[in-house]
Structure 1
Amino acid sequence: MTTHQHHGYEYVDEGRGPVLLLLHGLFGALSNWQDVVDEFRADYRVVIPLLPIYDMPLAQAGVPGLVKYVEGFVAAIGLPDSLTVLGNSLGGHVALVYALHNPDRVARLVLTGSSGLFEDSMGGSFPKRGNYQFVQERVRFTFYDPTIATKELVDEVFSVTNSNAKCLRIIAIARSAQRHNLSRELRRVAVPVLLVWGLNDTITPPPVAHEFARLLPQATLRFLDHCGHAPMMERPAAFNRCLRQFLSQPAPVVAIAA
């Protein structure tokens, strides 16, 4: 994937057609969505902003600050209305709040391992600076198949957690996500929502997916077996099949109810 720079934003922008706006999670990266980009860029315009999780002003480090960042990004590159917004983990949380704040811009939502109701961040504890084994265990905790947690991926997370400044932002954002519970607001999300969940997700376990499905008025829930917290990485073919089926259905532009 080629990244672009525009008005201070770094992002991927590939393909033409209806826009898929993809949002990564707390320890995520643009590359988390590689298989989605490869599958859908022939038929869709796939756009992925690099969220400023590690370097945004500390006072703004939280879900509201990330939503404002996405709003600014969408305006800066001139994305049209009727977006399909996909979010993994924290990215799902940001997608939901973005949709609540911008009901006229979002036609569909796709959530996978989303926070917003409950999440067990880093396996129940915040990152420990300088402890490679701890980071390795926590990254493996993300996946059903621990071999997905390659040395390259672990090294990337370790380099982040080895910075005091980055750790402060990670902790601030994680705590903001835990405080920002959406259970009372989800009924106002009136657009179709696809929930694709790993049956073996230990960070946002299956009961969380069932609760999202109960609270969202137009939710479709799909579970993937032998899959943890990042289905688009661990079960990409199955994830893409679910996504394509969902996108093939007509999506009327529906305003979010007051």
Structure 2
Amino acid sequence: MNYEIKQNDKFKFIDEGEGEILVLFHGLFGALSNFSDLIEHFRKEYRVIVPILPLLELDLLNTTVGGLQKYVNKFFEKLDLKNINLLGNSLGGHVALVQILKHPERIKTLILTGSSGLFENGMGDTYPKRGDREYIRNKTAYTFYDPAMATEELVDEVFEITNNRLKVIKIIALAKSAIRNNLGEELKEIKQPTLLIWGKNDNVTPPFVAEEFNKLIPNSELYFIDKCGHAPMMEVPSEFNAILNPFLEKHKE
């Protein structure tokens, strides 16, 4: 399903459906396709908005979790979004956490899946390696429980990004920023109802990370999905939506 990409000032985004607002933040190698099943399911009853995060477009100084948070805050102000159900995957979850801690007034609920912010097996360790397609294939497959999810198309996307020297520098900058920006005890300040949906076989942010989030965020509930990796909304969309749906319904106004 192809959705119209809208533009308002410097912001590019998808805006589908009507009703209460559900905003989705993708991760470091994320793309709109990661959320296609989720968008299709929830646009029937919600206004689903997906900003295209400028992960590799910001100047190097602002290529950080904090820089992305400032960008999304301006995006919320520009569209005057309020009472947001905010969902983030991986690095997108981390950005969502920093946003809710700095500007809680616009956020109604928080949904995290495979989020960084406490611990992750860094994509910034030996990654990314330029020019080695097999290495990129293995790293992409590592994200999923089922390695077949690392399709040629997906591997091509990541390979193209990691073959560009400046993009590689920015990816490493973001990965290192995520590791440095450990939120720890700050998470206790989050008051909004929070839903944690985690793959039981997540190699990047393993299950103990979800348990720690659950312990630190006061009003949070945690669901594990078996045989699922770092991107549940992509790998097992029907199970993911079945957990998210009642949570959103419960908090509808």
Q: TM-score, normalised by structure 1?
A: 0.95
Aligned partners of 2:6, 2:84: CA distance in 1, in Å?
Answer: 20
Aligned partners of 1:145, 1:250: CA distance in 2, in Å?
Answer: 33
Matched with 1:204 is 205
Matched with 2:77 is 75
Kindly state the Cα deviation for residue 189 of structure 1 after the two structures are TM-superposed.
0.3
Kindly state the Cα deviation for residue 125 of structure 1 after the two structures are TM-superposed.
2.5
Matched with 2:173 is 172
- In 1, are the aligned partners of 2:131 and 2:163 still within 8 Å (CA)? yes
Cα RMSD between the aligned structures?
1.2
- In 2, are the aligned partners of 1:19 and 1:84 still within 8 Å (CA)? yes
Kindly state the Cα deviation for residue 121 of structure 1 after the two structures are TM-superposed.
2.4
What SS does structure 1 have at the residue aligned with 2:109? strand
Q: Deviations over 1:55-78 (max 9, x none)?
A: 111010000000001011112223
Aligned partners of 1:13, 1:157: CA distance in 2, in Å?
Answer: 25
Q: Where does structure 1 lack aligned partners over 5 or more consecutive residues?
A: 253-258
Q: Deviations over 1:85-139 (max 9, x none)?
A: 0000000000011001111111100000000000112384220111111111000
The alignment covers a number of residue pairs equal to 251
Aligned partners of 1:208, 1:121: CA distance in 2, in Å?
Answer: 13
Matched with 1:37 is 39
Matched with 1:155 is 156
Q: Does 1:47 align with 2:44?
A: no
Q: Deviations over 1:127-167 (max 9, x none)?
A: 01111111110000000001111000000000000001111
Q: Which runs of 4+ in 1 moved over 4 A?
A: none
- In 2, are the aligned partners of 1:123 and 1:141 still within 8 Å (CA)? no
Aligned partners of 1:50, 1:168: CA distance in 2, in Å?
Answer: 20
Q: Where does structure 2 lack aligned partners over 5 or more consecutive residues?
A: none
Paired amino acid for 1:75: E
Paired amino acid for 2:146: D
- In 2, are the aligned partners of 1:107 and 1:251 still within 8 Å (CA)? no
Aligned partners of 2:29, 2:251: CA distance in 1, in Å?
Answer: 33
Aligned partners of 2:4, 2:224: CA distance in 1, in Å?
Answer: 31
Q: Sequence identity of aligned pairs in percent?
A: 50
- In 2, are the aligned partners of 1:16 and 1:43 still within 8 Å (CA)? yes
Aligned partners of 1:119, 1:73: CA distance in 2, in Å?
Answer: 27
Q: Deviations over 1:188-233 (max 9, x none)?
A: 0011100000000000000000000000001100000010000000
Aligned partners of 1:217, 1:189: CA distance in 2, in Å?
Answer: 7
Aligned partners of 2:97, 2:204: CA distance in 1, in Å?
Answer: 18
Kindly state the Cα deviation for residue 54 of structure 1 after the two structures are TM-superposed.
1.1
Aligned partners of 2:103, 2:252: CA distance in 1, in Å?
Answer: 17
Matched with 1:145 is 146
- In 2, are the aligned partners of 1:108 and 1:251 still within 8 Å (CA)? no
Q: TM-score, normalised by structure 2?
A: 0.97
Q: Does 1:56 align with 2:39?
A: no
